[in-house]
Amino acid sequence: MHELAIAQGIIEKVDETAAGRKVRRVIVEIGRDSCVSAEALAFSFDLVAEGSAAHGAVLDVRSVMGTTLNVKSMEVEEAA
């Protein structure tokens, strides 16, 4: 389950940048040759997101070429 470690990496970055704002969506790029399964990653993401700014956020996985593993962007709710 290396997806769990990948999910932790995503959440750490997102949580740190969110600075308390609620995260709606996280967009990641996962290379087809990276041996990371999108299904297992989504499962792990939900587990790790609990209690963080990304709790309940949608993980949007973009499949790309190569071995890329990037957090591309995220959508946060700004205080109205």
Partner 1 sequence: MCGSCGCGSSELTMTNLETGKQTPLTDDPLEHVHADGTRHRHHPEPDHHDHHHDHEHTHDHAQHHEPAPVSTIDLNTRILAKNDAAAAQNRAWFKGREILAINLMSAPGAGKTTLLERTIASLKGDHKVFVLEGDQATDHDGARMKAAGAPAVQINTGQGCHLDADMLARGIGELKPASGSILFIENVGNLVCPALFDLGEARRVAILSVTEGDDKPLKYPHMFRAADLMLLNKIDLAPHVRFDRQRAIAFAHQVNPAIKVLELSAQTGEGVDAWLRWIDAEHATVRAEAFV
- For partner 1, the binding residues (CB under 8 A) are 1-2, 4-6, 9-10, 12-14, 17, 22, 24-25, 28, 32-39, 41-42, 45, 58-64, 67, 69-80
| Overall residue count recorded for the chain in this entry | 80
Q: How far is the CB of 13 from partner 1 (least distance, A)?
A: 6
Is the Cβ–Cβ distance between 34 and 69 less than 8 Å?
A: yes
Q: How far is the CB of 29 from partner 1 (least distance, A)?
A: 8
Q: How far is the CB of 44 from partner 1 (least distance, A)?
A: 10
Is the Cβ–Cβ distance between 7 and 40 less than 8 Å?
A: no
Give dist(CA 5, CA 19) in Å, integer: 22
